[in-house]
Chain A
Amino acid sequence: MNFDDLMGRTEHWLNSKGPQQHIVISTRIRFARNLAHRPFPGWSKRAERIQVLDEIKAPVEALPEMEGGFSQVLQDLTALERQVLVERHLISREHAAKGAGSAVVMNAQQSLSVMINEEDHLRMQAIRPGLQFRDAFESLDTMDTELELLLDYAYSPKLGYLTACPTNVGTGMRASAMLHLPALVLSDQMNPVIQAVNKIGLAVRGLYGEGTEALGNLFQVSNQTTLGESESDILQRLTRVVEQVISHEESARQVLLETKRTMVLDQIGRAYGVLSNAHSIASKEALNLLSLLRLGVDLHLMDDTWRLAIDRLLIDTQPAHLQRESRRKLAAEARDVMRASIIRTRLENASGPDFSSLPEIPPQTSENAEG
């Protein structure tokens, strides 16, 4: 399929339900793999990279998972198309900047993608809605096992899969969950959570990975180490921690409703008001207000079906998606106008938050507040 066909298909993870979706937006796992006896992409000459690409691309395209999928060398994609793939988390920012000898292959559902000649010869990724480490791992593991019969991987019995960066050696696996944590942020508890997660060898990052800002109360939790533990040990540790963060966020939401009810409802109501009426809105403001509206859905002020619609908007209002939609390059001001217009249109059929659906404040809390 070509790029337009690909864009015509909704990503599977943005179109289906997953466990713990009130807090976990998506789960991603990637494996880094390299061919034996070939320099890593960063230390390869152009001709060597093209040779590796030729060697890898056909077997990846021929995988049963990739039937009817999308495959393109990066040179044949425009800068805007590459940026769209970055915004969908299908390729990395680093990969989007690559020239000759790099390619991307993915299935039609956009749940499995393979970057060829990124930092490693192969970076393959599985993405799932909600918290689904096991499921994501199994589908990626199956694809990897099919590929390893066709490609000679660089592997050492002692160090495992050999990667361009020593931080990935061993399993070559990076697993991450994208968490939406508005209550922990609103109640100033995010820093201690980040510190606690860091202490046990896991990383917390912003929306687009390393060195990016935590916009829209979105945080990625991922494993930091890849050597010395099996894949399942890493995933178990990660799952345990993510589940703990989920329960912290759940109790923070409860506490906020009990102690700062007016503030929370006010913010959600204002978010809906601005989003459904604004005629120009910057990316940062949109992300933060959509986050509050999502919290409103989680608190059952709006119908559950709005959750996926909001997640969809988080992606569709990113700069490259807007410019693709309008089929022309847009300056920042024009993007803000278009962003506001898309959000207004999508929210047209939403009846808005129904505050009467919230249970009354428990009596002892109000007594405490008065006393």
Chain B
Amino acid sequence: MQCDVCKKKPATVFLTQILGGKIQKVNLCESCSKEKGVADPTGFALTDLLLGVGNSDEVASPVGSARCPVCGFSQAELKKTGRLGCSACYDAFEEALGSLLKAMHKGTAHHGKVPARAMRSHELSRQVEALQDSLAKAVGDENYESAASLRDQIRQLELGLQPENG
């Protein structure tokens, strides 16, 4: 298991913290655990640690001042409020959120309800992929008539995949 902070060395310190009734888990290598002062569990918060604001050198790092390209929300604000600015922030702060989500939740991937729209576009993407495979094969076989018809079908499906305006 890798260290959650440096992501290089193997983790040897496994920490579970209960904050306000919430269980958070973090795995650290020996040098990171010393650096973060994990020996003194009262003196630090897991969220700070995972968001890379544990010591002053890192606050100034470009990661801390990163902004969401869509809404302009910054990682410093995420640290301060624990909230995000828009749905695109999940991509913008993927790295910092990754360990946070891991510590907060049962898993890191959604296993619940899928909205009908997402289901439909997922289904369409799969169909497009399948048609693209057939298209490549048809081109390889120099079956251009069939390739042209497959290309038209793909275009048609891709129209349905475009996000609706609004």
Chain A interface (Cβ within 8 Å of chain B)? Answer: 34, 36-40, 42-43, 55, 119, 141, 144-145, 148-149, 152-162, 164-167, 169-171, 173, 198-199, 201, 203-204, 224-231, 233
Contact = CB atoms under 8 A, between A and B. Distances in A.
Residue of B21, B113, B116 contacting most chain A CB atoms (<10 Å): B113
A170 B85 contact: no
Interface residues of B, number: 36
Contact of B21 (A36, A170, A203): A203
A153 B111 contact: no
Given A155-B115, A170-B111, A198-B21, 7 more contacts: A34-B87, A42-B83, A157-B122, A161-B113, A164-B84, A165-B82, A229-B112
A157 B90 CA distance: 12
A231 B110 CA distance: 10
Contacts of A166: 82, 84, 97, 100-101, 104
9 contacts: A40-B83, A55-B166, A149-B116, A155-B117, A170-B112, A171-B110, A198-B21, A227-B105, A233-B111
A159 B114 CA distance: 11
Interface in B110-166: 110-118, 122, 163-164, 166
B15 interface: no
A198 B56 CA distance: 33
B109 interface: yes
B107 interface: yes
Interface of B: 18, 21-23, 71, 73, 81-87, 90, 97, 100-101, 104-118, 122, 163-164, 166
A36 B116 contact: no
A162 B109 CA distance: 12
B104 A167 contact: yes
A203 B105 CA distance: 13
A198 B112 contact: no
Contacts of A42: 81, 83
A173 B85 contact: no
Nearest to B22: A224
A229 B106 contact: yes
A170 B114 CA distance: 10
Contacts of A36: 87, 163
B90 A169 contact: yes
B105 A225 contact: yes
A43 B73 contact: yes
B85 A40 contact: yes
Contact of B117 (A148, A173, A199, A224): A148
Contact of A157 (B83, B97, B118, B164): B118
In the A-B complex, the 3 residue pairs with the smallest Cβ-Cβ separation, listed nearest first, are A228-B107, A160-B110, A228-B106
Nearest to A210: B20
Contact of B110 (A148, A153, A159): A159
A175 B77 CA distance: 29
Nearest to B105: A227
Most chain A beta carbons < 10 A, residue from B21, B100, B118? B21
Nearest to B115: A148
Nearest to A153: B115
A171 B105 contact: no
A38 B88 CA distance: 9
